[in-house]
Structure 1
């Protein structure tokens, strides 16, 4: 018997820029918003600076790249823990590209660049292969309609 599990995620977003005046002129209205999720710290956000946002705040593009990077991290760590690969450090410098396609903007690619350190006793080839598997099971990467590539570097401690 197969059971299907569904997880639901709820957020609340409020445009806080209204305190600075209405959105009546594209060049001057505030793009600032507040994202809240029950039981978690609030996150202030805005548009990318290319779209007149505040460079000091997170924007949706940043958060999408971060979601893909963190999903890969968590998928990879789970696979390693279940496969006998001991990870001692993990960092990623991910980049996303927003391009114009058919006169509209869309995310065209995200590249993950994880740098992983494993215990000297761990199988390096297996650790490298598990990045492919992590990509395959990362549900955020499986949900987007653009390529998510990874250029992983695995080293032994």
Structure 2
């Protein structure tokens, strides 16, 4: 039987004014301004919203999971970007994040590694602990490119 492992991640949000606050953690140097998104009453332009952070948590978890699996699998790559789009809708009468589409773009050097790269991208989406923790549907639309000279 495996040992139960727990990790905690503490954050503190301090209300600043109106619909804005500042997010911080005693373990991190940076702070993040957060606010109601501009699509809602009282929303603020150009500031991270909980909705942005939700999509970012899925995208960043995918990236960190991919890099770990790729390292373990000895997959060499030159570049990785993970554009992500979250869709919020009120399909059930209440707003919820109903879908996130991850569109990772991976650049490899060896054409012969393309199928392996696609398998690792898929495995990363399946293994991402944030994705496994939410009810939002996460779709993966990967693209693997071979670098010139590869």
TM exceeding 0.5 = yes
- For residues 4-61 of structure 1, the C-alpha deviation after alignment (integer angstroms, 9 at most, x for no partner) is 21110100001101xxxxxxxxxxxx10111011132111110110112211100000
Deviation at 1:135, TM superposition (A): 1.1
Distance 1:4 1:156 in 2: 41
Aligned equivalent of 1:141, options 131, 137, 144: 131
Aligned equivalent of 1:41, options 30, 50, 60: 30
Distance 2:128 2:82 in 1: 15
- For residues 64-100 of structure 1, the C-alpha deviation after alignment (integer angstroms, 9 at most, x for no partner) is 1111011101111111111121121011211000000
Gaps of 5+ in 2: none
Between 133-142 and 113-122, the greater mean CA deviation after superposition: 113-122
With structure 2 as the length reference, what TM-score do the two structures score?
A: 0.91
SS in 2 for 1:123: helix
Distance 1:93 1:58 in 2: 16
Distance 1:32 1:122 in 2: 50
SS in 2 for 1:77: helix
Distance 1:15 1:35 in 2: 9
Q: Does 1:60 align with 2:50?
A: yes
With structure 1 as the length reference, what TM-score do the two structures score?
A: 0.88
Give the paired residue count.
145
Distance 2:94 2:69 in 1: 37
- Residue 8 of structure 1 corresponds to 8
- Residue 25 of structure 1 corresponds to none
Deviation at 1:119, TM superposition (A): 2.4
- Whether the 8 Å CA contact 1:67–1:140 is kept in 2: the answer is yes
SS in 2 for 1:3: coil
Gaps of 5+ in 1: 18-29
Larger Rg: 1
- Whether the 8 Å CA contact 1:85–1:122 is kept in 2: the answer is no
